[in-house]
Amino acid sequence: MHGVRELQPNIPGREKRSWISDGAPVLVKSVSSSVHPEEVRIACLLTSPPHVGRPRNHSIPIWDVLNDPLLDADKQRIVMPLCVRITRPVFDTVGEVVDCIRQIFEGIEYMHEHFIAHRDCNWLNVVQDATGLYPEGFHPVSPFYDREYKLRAHVLTRR
């Protein structure tokens, strides 16, 4: 993990956040410990040594875990890079689809080899790091638009 760093809002009153240190856009996911008691532990396990950096491990990096017992003792907040669904941008070639499916199965196989079952693998939960696809970034709610939701996002191909 990257250690504790402060989050700053990009736009007052919005949930869009970025790391103060480098400005990277992040997603802060709230996890109920009573509903999903192992999610935070497993996510941190997969993004820590010896798993981090392994080519077949396609888990989203966990940059931090925030706890605020005064706010809600049952909730933990996982800080991770802002990702986009695998369907955005649309695939241009059959080869891109095949490579995407290969990586999904490779990641699931990696988890299974370490006795971890995803149990909720669906198209809403399979995301990608789109840094290389959206050089100027994208809006967290609609990747069709830029970060400020003013212009269409500039998108590169996966090739």
The per-residue pLDDT for range 31-47, each reduced to its tens digit, is 998 999 999 999 999 99
Per residue in 119-141, pLDDT (tens digit) is 888 888 888 888 888 888 888 88
87 with 103, same domain: the answer is: yes
89 with 65, same domain: the answer is: no
37 with 14, same domain: the answer is: yes
Looking at residue 21, its pLDDT comes to 64
90 with 75, same domain: the answer is: no
Longest Cα–Cα distance of the chain, Å, equals 50
Residue 129 domain boundaries? 83-159
76 with 121, same domain: the answer is: no
Counting the structural domains of the chain, the total is 2
Alpha-carbon distances, residue 142 vs 84, 139, 146, 148, 151 (angstroms): 9, 5, 9, 11, 11
Mean pLDDT of the region 9-26: 56
- Please report, for the domain that includes residue 3, its CATH number: 3.30.200.20
Per residue in 42-78, pLDDT (tens digit) is 999 999 999 999 999 999 999 989 887 777 888 898 9
Contact 46, 111 (CB under 8 A): yes
71 with 88, same domain: the answer is: no
156 with 124, same domain: the answer is: yes
Task: Read off the pTM.
Answer: 0.76
